[in-house]
Structure 1
Amino acid sequence: MSRKYFGTDGIRGRANGLITPELALKVGQAAGLVFQRGEHRHRVVIGKDTRLSGYMIENAMVAGFTSVGMDVLLVGPMPTPAVAMLTKSMRADLGVMISASHNLFEDNGIKLFGPLGYKLSDDVEKQIEELLDENLDKRLSQSASLGRARRIDGVHDRYIEFAKRTLPRNLSLDGLRVVIDCAHGAAYKVAPEALWELGADVISIGVEPDGFNINKECGSTAPEALSRKVREMRADIGIALDGDADRLIMVDERGHLVDGDQLLAVIAQSWKEDGRLAKPGIVSTVMSNLGLERFLKAQGIDLIRTAVGDRYVLEQMLQHGYNVGGEPSGHIIMSDHATTGDGFVAALQVLAVVTKLGRPVSEVCHLFDPLPQILKNVRYRSGKPLDDAEVKSTIAAGEQRLNGHGRLLIRPSGTEPVIRVMGEGDDRVMVEEVVDSIVDALGHAAAA
């Protein structure tokens, strides 16, 4: 069965486009029916970020869940990893995060977590999808069995304590000046408060949500504002979260960007030295830079690659016993602490290393020089250009040319008729020539 609603990270689209109150209500009903297992009173935790459409979707989902007899616990604006944590700690059957992550306010989405705080498997999502297109009127609860909804206080303090407990009890951030950009999103209260409680001198930006400004010229996808603030305030480090705080980008004291690959290198090296790596390896995606792989290899740490998407990173971690993984975009998962990517907890791990070493962030967080990486997209109308004989021959020639000096990644997009061609290697000119030759061959095949 093809996936009609769910993508790689829940259901996402334009508010009142794909994400309508009707769909949200049906998702609540369908998910509620799938997760009503056993005779106990069933409950769901619902959190959201700060975008305007969250109110509309939240109310519709409450109607859906209560109509099939599920109680609803509303926690308001909270980071995605906090909702996952609360789902498990409050012994709920299901968790929901209403968010479109790093997208602008016009979009929204629905992320679902199982009772242990993990994102749903493909099989469970398919069960929910099958129900979305059915008439569920005959499966609604009787009047006396309807669910109830109530708002839960104190959840911000729960997450702050959870985040702080991921650090040694005697660790203090005293003397560290930190700028944090919360993207006017879900972490706008908890992240600055937690840093202050840990002793940091905190300068906060992106903490005035109005329903429209989430991720707008701020946050992990637009770190320029953070870089300027770090330089202006002469801060030691800058932290940029996205709208639901499951991803992280940092900048050093000079305002220079520190991406997810560098952050993975810092955490992996530190955890290996402390004996905290479950296995001598970490998990990342095919998009992680070859420079990271070479650095880790020199440290005796393997890099295991997966398809793009943090859910695939987590699946590999769980199947093979790794406890650190992530993506260049800043999704970092540390399974000792969380069941999904947690940008803020990852930031705390890096701050702990900075504090321990007592060196500038520009030194601590620059462990390798990334190899030149070229990414180009080729759009096509129909057919399978990658099956063309000339294209196959050109790709083989490119791989042979880069052998030992770089790598190629050619993959069709999962959401649009585009083929992505990525090459990286020691010689930028060579990489450009190889990528351009493949792009030209794909262009000819697409036009044929």
Structure 2
Amino acid sequence: MKVAVLGTGYVGLSTGVCLAEIGHEVVCIDVDERKIDILKEGKSPIYEPGLEELLIKNSTEGRLAFTTSHQQGLSEVEIIIIAVGTPQSADGQADLSFLEQAAKDLAEHIVQDCIVVVKSTVPVGTNEYLKQLLLGQLKNNVEIKMVSNPEFLRQGSAILDTLKADRIIIGTDDAGASKKIQEMYRPLNVPFLLTDVRSAEMIKYASNAFLATKISFINGIANLCEAVGADVEDVAKGMGYDKRIGTAFLKAGIGYGGSCFPKDVKALLHTSREKGVPFSLLEDTIAINDHQQELLVGKALKRFGELKGKKIAMLGLSFKPETDDMREAPSIKIARLLTAAGAEVAAYDPVAASNARTVIGDVITYLDSALEAAKDADGLFIVTEWEEFRQLDVEAVLDIMKQRIIFDGRNCLDAAVLQDCGPIEYYPVGKPAIILRGG
């Protein structure tokens, strides 16, 4: 099939590359000339494991192309996938301006009947609104069929999540369009769920809100575990053995971030308020997460009394490992709280330092290794659970710190290993602290 993908962010680029990988002829369209130039050179503008290799392979084999021209990109395509951003507005609802612009561009350049697939995360009713927008501005006499096909990709595993998805949601009132989209995805051998459009739109929000709520729940339990002397990891393991609960997203820490959970929970809450349907659970999910992102700073203040003049090493900047994405990353709030309290912050992240600099700025120092960041530090914060930090040479780090104090926001370090590290103060999340004095 000939497929066009509008937008080359995480979702659009991953989708386009994977559709080419399973044999379709794909052209990715983006108005950002710099990004398209990078892609034409066989380079990925985002860090995503496995993406660049597939990009090069499918471009070389002629199944994948990139352009800024809608006229060129939309020529003779059967399916058009919209994967532009829907960021959060000031009031919490989704900003549809990029989606609206995409519809206007399509209306001007579509010259043949086609199926328009909305993969962007959108409020319920958006597909209907978008269809009316398209029909009202079409330049040519063509037939448009709409399909809601939400994505469920995780940054850091977007390729795997596309090629080996749990399910593919196809929401449409047109049987022919549904059959065509099933045919497009058939090589993936993934279960289909066929629904109406509005249910498909709601599935995406409901899924992300549930996962975010699960994270906030275990973080609430973690805080209670600290108060009563329990170990949240044992508690989570015991809960997870129950098949009704499962182990996924029961990892205590300093909260969720990224491009999906924060904005999707707030967007769903906005919809519930707009419709007059109380949903206090979502309000609590957000409140717990906001508090959790301040947790390590609170622990440090309790330990030191004040942070003015203290050097804090911060390991991890991206919102999760295996990505350079800084959207809603807990490190942003942590860095700002630390510097506001007068601390000097030295940070290291394997891939996200460049993006972090544009978000956090130069109020903190960016270094090239964990050891460089930790040198002469009064305390060390582990903020992102990169595997590099799980395998950290703790003794080497402690030996170059001014004070041997670690605040582990992701419970990365092994308590058994720490017991052999000599004098140390180790403050995890939801678990008893380890305090080993010297002498």
Q: Structure 2 length as normaliser, TM-score?
A: 0.28
Q: Which has the larger radius of gyration?
A: 2
Which structure has greater strand proportion?
A: 1
Which structure has greater helix proportion?
A: 2
